[in-house]
Chains A and B, each alone.
Chain A
Amino acid sequence: MSIRMFQPEPAARRHRLFRPAAVLLLLSLLPAASPLLAQDWVHLTAGNNNSEIRLAAASFRPVTTDPATLADKQTFDSVLFADLSNAGIFAMVSRSLAPQATPGSPSEINLAQWAQAPPSAAMVAFGNISIQNGNLIANGFLDDTRNSQYPQVFAKQYTGPAGDQTARELAHQFADDIIFRLSGGTPGISESKIFYSQRMGNGVKEIWMMDYDGANKLQLSHLGQDSISPAVSPDDSVVAFSALTHDGFELRMYSLLLGRIVHFINIGSANVSPAWSPSGQQLAFSSSRSGSSEIWISDPQGALSHRITNYGGLDVSPSWNPKTGTQIAFVSGRTGLPQLYIMDEDGSGVTRMTDGGYATSPSWSPNGQFIAFAWDRHYGPGAPGGQDIYVMEVATKRWIQLTHDIGRCDFPTWSPDGRHIAFANSPDGRDNHNRIVSMLADGTQRQVLTGYGADMPDWSWK
């Protein structure tokens, strides 16, 4: 086996794409004997270097010791640890390395014990938990072990009606507060949601939602139709999606506030792939109402619709630049196989981004710098390689491959903090074997969030 650089651009340039300090290695490993089957293997190793804050999450001390408190504490501890691990910016101290005493308050913690080896923690999250008058109360503290004079970073009380669900929510809130403080002001994603299309039976799919970690799966639509392509509005108030009706795919609006379908104007023909502008005042989608599939923009009720592409061919899957709100990425088959394009929101300045293969399902990153998309770079009957998730830097068109050899991948969607990407993955390539997987935006820490039958994830905006 030979080891050689495969990327055309210098590795140093690529380092700046992701998590700048964390990237150690960028290698392309190619079995020399089978060049025809070669994929580009771009391996980014996020190592145990000093750039990640070494964070310990102490077990919370139960103040009341009834079984209900202990059960909620168990949930709280495990969800908190998982949230902080998932954040991708911490080197978490293993539970087995923690000092034996369980600190419940700042007066009970011996920071020197946490600062020295083996935990060697730079920060410690700890606190106490109790049930009082039917309310679960968690007092959370974050201490800096190296600041002996004023160690406390913050202290906050979290409360809600006792129960497993509240324990989860309080842990999410505490985790997000920690992440916000230690990540340079980027809010955590522990309270974000993922919307998706769930196969219910023969020909029927419904829109569902779940927590970012796959918990609390909840069915939203009950149309008994083929409902696909959910897109939640920036304010989390409505979910736009597309459902197969007597007259083809029509756009639908589900109000998360009212818990029902609300009005949306439809014109007939195929209307698919809705996408919200960051203002929440406009919806971009693909419609063939003019005879050919083009990108249209309307208001959230479907009124004031106007066409912004006019090229013949197929135009579909728009995604707004969430940072500027003035650009739209989309997929077009105007030159043959579908390719990734960007344009201004008035349809001008169309720029082709991919140079071949079969590129679909763009998702513009929250900071506006990147576009994640699905790409089969050698598409065609009998072609080698597969459909994987890629990320392209918009300004340079440089790209990086995030998934390898895990089957067919599609529909990437960015987490609100831009550090994670969820996508649909079918290990054997079959449509009914799609499930939703999340990963860090460098392709590491993959987690399967659903069973088979879940497809087209859409991560909430906050």
Chain B
Amino acid sequence: MIAHRTSLRNKAALVATLALLAAAGCHKKQAAPPPPAAMAPQTVAPPTASITADPMTIDLGQSVVLNWRTTNATSVSIDGIGQVPVNGTQTVSPSSSTNFHLVATNEGGTTEANVRVTVRVPEVPAAPVSNTSSADEFHSHVQDIFFAFDSYDLSSDAKASITTAAAYLNAHPTIKILIGGYCDDRGSAEYNITLGENRANAAKTALVAAGIDGSRIRVVSYGKEKQFCTEETESCWQQNRRDQFSVDQ
């Protein structure tokens, strides 16, 4: 199948790339009088590109032949393979479903083409949740909470954070979380481990009360064994008196 049409996101990237190129070009040519910017697209047309895969769907361990054709391109690359001839074929054996993304470039611009090869893995893998965008989303909804000195009571701010977190976790039932309990570095190490444990358990209890299955939550107290901030100041101690939430892999 030919995937000639670039996505909206790719177009945006293309525009950004062109803008960057234009900016860089202007900078270099400050000494000489610049040629009219409109001249470039008229002299060189952007390349055309297409890429196909045969077959489109394989079982894990089988191979697939990629076949790509471009015109007017000076440079062609495929993500994960690198620089390739302007026209060619290659046999690949991806271990998971892969988007092969081809970029063809000349002075007139950049053209992209995509083909997706689906790999059937014997057991159905869990939906991966660890990519950057979903991690950001997680941390924007499930925020670390902070505690008063020698306390594992949830403040009103912490309770509000837990409510937000519970709503997010209820909406994403496949996500498991790790709650790490931390203490500032004053006081005794052993006592602080129990204090951190109770801090983490306080958050777990509140999440369970809000309808989250307790089996989705792992609790680890780090006491004062790990520190976010090592200055001996109140603001730093406050940073360390926390429950840290993260996606449990």
A interface residue numbers (CB < 8 A to B): 203, 226, 228-229, 242, 244, 246-249, 269-270, 272-273, 286, 288, 291-293, 314-317, 331, 333, 336-338, 358, 360-361, 374, 376, 379-381, 387, 410-411, 429-431, 455-456
Interface size class of B (residues with CB under 8 A): 20 to 34
B190 with A269: CB separation less than 8 A: no
Q: Does B201 contact A (CB under 8 A)?
A: yes
Contact across chains for B190 and A203 when beta carbons are under 8 A apart? no
Inter-chain CA distance A203–B223, complex, in Å, is: 12
**Which of these, A226, A316, A374, A380, contacts B194 with CB under 8 Å?**
A316
Do residues B149 and A270 form an inter-chain contact, with CB atoms below 8 A? no
Task: Assess A272 versus B194: contact at CB under 8 Å? Given A380-B149, A455-B189.
Answer: yes
**B226 an interface residue at 8 Å Cβ cutoff?**
yes
* Contact call B190/A270, Cβ cutoff below 8 A: no
Which residues of chain B are near A226, meaning CB under 8 Å? 225
Decide yes or no whether B218 CB sits under 8 A from chain A: yes
Q: A334 to nearest B CB, angstroms?
A: 12
Q: Which 3 A-B pairs have the closest CB atoms?
A: A360-B188, A293-B194, A270-B197
Pick from A203, A360, A431: contact of B191, CB under 8 Å: A360
9 contacts across the A-B interface (CB closer than 8 A): A226-B225, A228-B189, A228-B190, A272-B190, A272-B193, A315-B194, A333-B191, A358-B188, A410-B188
- Is the Cβ of B187 less than 8 Å from the Cβ of A292? no
**Which residues of B approach A to under 8 Å, CB–CB?**
149-150, 185, 187-191, 193-198, 201, 218-226, 232, 234, 237
Query: Which A residues are CB-close (under 8 A) to B194?
Result: 270, 272, 286, 288, 293, 314-316, 333
Closest to B230 in A: A430
- Among A247, A248, A337, A410, the one with the most B-chain Cβ atoms within 10 Å of its Cβ is A248
**Chain B neighbourhood of A314, CB < 8 A:** 191, 194-195, 198
Indicate if the CB atoms of A361 and B221 lie closer than 8 Å. Answer: no
Choose among A273, A288, A431 the residue that contacts B198 (Cβ–Cβ < 8 A). A288
Residue in B150, B196, B232 whose CB lies within 8 Å of A333: B150
Min CB–CB distance B247 → chain A (angstroms): 15
- The CA-CA distance from A374 to B190 in the complex, in Å, is 12
Identify the closest chain A residue to B185 (Cβ).
Answer: A431
Q: What's the Cα separation between A455 and B190 when bound, in Å?
A: 12
B193: which A residues are within 8 A, CB to CB? 242, 249, 270, 272, 316
Contact status of A291 and B201, CB under 8 A, knowing A203-B225, A247-B218: yes
Bound Cα distance from A151 to B245, whole angstroms: 74
Q: Could you say which residues of chain A place their CB within 8 Å of the CB of B226?
A: 203
Q: Once the chains bind, are B224 and A270 in contact (CB under 8 Å)? A: no
A residues in contact with B150, CB < 8 Å: 333, 336-337
Contact between A456 and B189, CB atoms less than 8 A apart: yes
Closest chain B residue to A314, Cβ basis: B194
Which residues on A sit within 8 Å (CB–CB) of B189? Answer: 228-229, 410, 431, 455-456
Residues of chain B contacted by A228 (CB below 8 angstroms): 189-190, 225
Q: A379: which B residues are within 8 A, CB to CB?
A: 187
Q: Out of B188, B198, B220, B224, which one reaches A361, CB within 8 Å?
A: B188
Whether A358 pairs with B187 at a CB distance below 8 angstroms is: yes
Q: Would you call B201 and A288 a contact (CB within 8 A)? A: yes
Q: How far is the CB of A180 from chain B (nearest CB, A)?
A: 35
Q: A291-B201, A293-B198 are in contact. Are A381 and B188 (CB under 8 A)?
A: no
* A244 nearest in chain B by CB position: B225
